[in-house]
Structure 1
């Protein structure tokens, strides 16, 4: 989870390096994308009883990563004033990468994603990619810009990450849509985590005129809603028989409940984000249990991200 960071002076505007364009995709917030994609794939495989083709899993994950990376770049373009106020996402908010360069990269990523969908994946997956692209535009770009609309900002994330994301993995597994109801809890879990991340950005979003759910509810009410949503996810897990998600949601719940008290005062961003970070870690470890290769992949991403931010900006990120 990206958050505001105390840091030394930044590189000057227009001084982008090749690696900057890689990390403009925000690998750390792609972690939940990969996690829920893999969980969707496992559920599809488990329901159908058919082993997932590794190549389909790989191409699907690659295509979905490219499309979501493009969406995150567009979001940074439109959010750069709020990101500057929140002291985060320096590459665009502080002009290190130009807006033109960012638009070009986003367009190339989306085109590459669609090309993979057309030539290497089933038609259903291409539809999922196109839905993701449309959602990304609606979330970030005026006049709709769902991010600045309370409730709809959470709902769009629930649809994008809780439904479309897991459905991408499910489709890559080769399973039919029969039994997809087992993924229902992820919609509520994603909504909960997004609510927490919105709380961390209240200050900058309010100053930038963005009426997000975090701004509308405030920290305490927002954390209560996040806790209720995660509890709802736990109940949904029991109703649909999703035991992996049940364990993950139950492990995430206590910290969210504890953080409700923190809403009475103004905690720092690290403390606000802690429930979201812990939830992401718990769900990711659940995915690791089913796909062991995912652990070294995650460790590599975290280490490379930490090395990049240390060398490029002189800061420790990610960190608790």
Structure 2
């Protein structure tokens, strides 16, 4: 098979399904917190699935735009090659992203509350600001951290909460442990890329304050997440941040890249696993996503991707 010959599946996987997992997880977490009690749910209402579909389309559009603006960097780093190496038509994916972006916002306002529509719109705008020059928050210190913390910890959480149709009075406060935890995880992900980001002029928080201070700030934020989880009686975030905190401590004490990478990999995985325990239906979705990615990359490019140790 001619690997460069376009295939319809390329236009599905260019949405980067692996990166949708954090968004799905935070939607579930928001829905769970809106229930106000700790319980296993064997099924989820149609409103939640629609919210998940909307958010997936929106984030998929954002990830396409991210790849378009990072095409030269991705080509040099030999990653995310669907766009960088021309496997997909640029005009086609621009149209695809516009359709997904606008459709998500339209359905958000049409099928849910005005507040939900606003949340979806803000998520999309933040995603654009993260990637598109001259804003490009991903390459600006502290704005990169805030964009990730607020994008996943607040906005995705809020979308899940609102899909439950519950009172939103405590939504903003209850999202704070997750904003801190996501920010902590993000900070440590900037450390392995410190040298390459610095060389290419991407001044992330990790580049700006240095590796050592970054590890300490990440630890402080994760500790803050733990303390807020106790204060708000959030057993889910308490379990996730409590399990992650020792890894962040070890990253600081050892100054070792292995512990740093383990802190954000295991820290993120813990919340996914806990969400799967609370919502068992999530487990087959994760497995199906993983296997679909495995099959696609093996069939299309002869690659073994993703692996559990991948940073996506």
TM-score of the aligned structures, taking structure 1 as reference length: 0.87
- Asked if 1:315 is matched to 2:299, the reply is no
Using the TM superposition, give the Cα deviation of residue 309 of structure 1 relative to its aligned residue in structure 2, in angstroms: 1.9
- Asked if 1:283 is matched to 2:271, the reply is yes
Could you report, residue by residue, the CA deviation over 1:65-96 in whole angstroms, capped at 9, with x for unpaired residues? 11111111111211223333433212122232
The 3-state SS of whatever aligns with 1:186 is helix
Instruction: Give the structure 2 partner of residue 196 of structure 1.
Output: 188
Using the TM superposition, give the Cα deviation of residue 11 of structure 1 relative to its aligned residue in structure 2, in angstroms: 4.3
| Change beyond 3 A, Cα 1:54–1:276 | same
- Asked if 1:152 is matched to 2:143, the reply is yes
- Asked if 1:104 is matched to 2:92, the reply is no
Using the TM superposition, give the Cα deviation of residue 262 of structure 1 relative to its aligned residue in structure 2, in angstroms: 5.8
Instruction: Give the structure 2 partner of residue 245 of structure 1.
Output: 237
Matches for 1:56-135 after TM superposition, within 5 Å: 56-135=47-126
State whether residues 185 and 267 of structure 2, in contact with CA within 8 Å, keep that contact through their aligned partners in structure 1.
yes
Q: Higher relative contact order at CA 8 Å, sep ≥6: structure 1 or structure 2?
A: 1
State whether residues 189 and 230 of structure 1, in contact with CA within 8 Å, keep that contact through their aligned partners in structure 2.
yes
Instruction: Give the structure 2 partner of residue 16 of structure 1.
Output: 6
Using the TM superposition, give the Cα deviation of residue 107 of structure 1 relative to its aligned residue in structure 2, in angstroms: 0.7
Could you report, residue by residue, the CA deviation over 1:42-62 in whole angstroms, capped at 9, with x for unpaired residues? 111227x9x997111111111
Instruction: Give the structure 2 partner of residue 3 of structure 1.
Output: none
| Structure 2 residues not aligned, in runs of 5+ | none
Q: Which stretch shows the higher mean deviation, 163-172 or 130-139? A: 130-139
Aligned residue-pair number = 303
Could you report, residue by residue, the CA deviation over 1:224-266 in whole angstroms, capped at 9, with x for unpaired residues? 32222212111111122111100111111222332335645xx
Paired residue for 2:205, among 205, 213, 232?
213
| Structure 1 residues not aligned, in runs of 5+ | 1-9
TM-score of the aligned structures, taking structure 2 as reference length: 0.89
- Asked if 1:293 is matched to 2:281, the reply is yes
